[in-house]
Structure 1
């Protein structure tokens, strides 16, 4: 009864469509959960993301949970994550994808999860890295270590979200660095981010990580832009 009263006084809304949630719903309403555009790349061995990085970086595996479209529910969901202090969305999406990846032999061999870092100034302003919860949740499901101090962002750059797929900014390519070239030698690393658009950010991070001897590299993101 107290829970029903609390819900009546402080109704919660869906982070993807802003409609009121039922008392039994959490974060995303049942309708949005059902109709969110899933890629299912990892379930069907789809090489869409590998094609994005063809001739740029070599990947073992690559997937994204959702398709991202301007003015669509996924954009609203990720906007709430990044700009409206809804950090819990990150963990929610990580658990969702993590449960699926944990069933696949190709992802069970992942040793380490590394999130794409954000610049300290941006982290101070926002209060968190929007990819952290996603990465930690994946690490738990895949029984892999979570490491956030090997790859760092030393240059503050503008978002790539609304740039064209083939108009990546050169300034991103030298925005990242690694603190130790040998700490993860021989490991299979899963690099994770929120949105894959031009691929510039992930490519820049990957080029740094590939300086580590004998590593294998895979990628997972919350969403990929159509």
Structure 2
């Protein structure tokens, strides 16, 4: 009886205030979440987890820091659906969307790739506490949580910290991005990473400068290897 009433209330609420697709803004159906079916199948998936050693991604770190693998769920392009989704995640409070999309990717990785074999921990690129208070959440942590639940691999938010607040990277060149982040991260307790295979998680991979700075700190602290998983990668 109570279950019937709960379903009735839910259906009535959805009728008055339907959930909208983050891609096209149409009302979602009963079996749809975050995106409608059309937008979901229209996502420009990269398929990189099936061959994650492509030079196009690893060259972002070549000669600077040894990265075990790099793979992203979807391609990011200006004015495309992925840019719209990332904007919703970072600036419109849609953190649950980050977790949901990460879970989609996690299930793909689990079924189609050997990347996750031997991974000990997932770590979202950390925000400085000032930016965290301003935004209210770290989207990279929500992505890491979605991957963690799908892959059954633990995620940690205390292993790597951002010790300095820096301005946004969005409009900076690769060199300026590197100068902006090269000293901002730290591993407060190296015993937590020694000998471990770690995956750094972020929303969008562009120049790779931020992830590079994170990887350097983790490797210098004694971790065995560093891989990279992101929701999106720039074409």
What is the TM-score of this pair, normalised by structure 1?
A: 0.92
* Alignment of structure 1 residues 186-197 onto 2, 5 Å: 186-197=195-206
**Partner of 2:98 in structure 1?**
90
* Structure 1 position 102, deviation (Å): 1.7
Provide the secondary structure at the position in 2 that maps to 1:77: helix
Provide the secondary structure at the position in 1 that maps to 2:24: coil
- In structure 2, do the counterparts of structure 1 residues 211 and 90 end up closer, same or farther at CA, with 3 Å as the change threshold? same
- In structure 2, do the counterparts of structure 1 residues 151 and 70 end up closer, same or farther at CA, with 3 Å as the change threshold? same
- Among 52, 63, 73, the residue aligned to 2:81: 73
- Which structure has the larger Rg? 2
Q: Which has the higher helix share?
A: 2
CA RMSD, 1 decimal: 1.8
**Partner of 1:203 in structure 2?**
212
Q: Does 1:34 align with 2:47?
A: no
- Among 154, 163, 173, the residue aligned to 1:154: 163
- Among 27, 50, 57, the residue aligned to 1:43: 50
1:126-156 deviation per Cα after TM superposition (whole angstroms, max 9, x unaligned): 1111111211222233332211111101111
**Partner of 1:142 in structure 2?**
151
What is the TM-score of this pair, normalised by structure 2?
A: 0.89
* Structure 1 position 160, deviation (Å): 2.4
- In structure 2, do the counterparts of structure 1 residues 224 and 165 end up closer, same or farther at CA, with 3 Å as the change threshold? farther
Provide the secondary structure at the position in 1 that maps to 2:72: strand
Q: Is the 8 A contact 2:89 2:139 kept in 1?
A: yes
Q: Does 1:116 align with 2:114?
A: no
* Structure 1 position 162, deviation (Å): 4.3
* Structure 1 position 44, deviation (Å): 2.9
Instruction: Identify unmatched segments of 5+ residues in structure 1.
Output: none
* Structure 1 position 174, deviation (Å): 1.0
Q: Is the 8 A contact 1:185 1:215 kept in 2?
A: yes
**Partner of 1:53 in structure 2?**
61
Mapped to 2, the partners of 1:16 and 1:163 lie a distance apart of: 27
Mapped to 2, the partners of 1:86 and 1:141 lie a distance apart of: 19
Mapped to 1, the partners of 2:18 and 2:181 lie a distance apart of: 41
Q: Is the 8 A contact 1:160 1:197 kept in 2?
A: no
Instruction: Identify unmatched segments of 5+ residues in structure 2.
Output: 1-7
- In structure 2, do the counterparts of structure 1 residues 31 and 161 end up closer, same or farther at CA, with 3 Å as the change threshold? farther
Q: Is the 8 A contact 1:185 1:212 kept in 2?
A: yes
- In structure 2, do the counterparts of structure 1 residues 214 and 4 end up closer, same or farther at CA, with 3 Å as the change threshold? closer
Aligned length: 226
Mapped to 2, the partners of 1:68 and 1:161 lie a distance apart of: 14
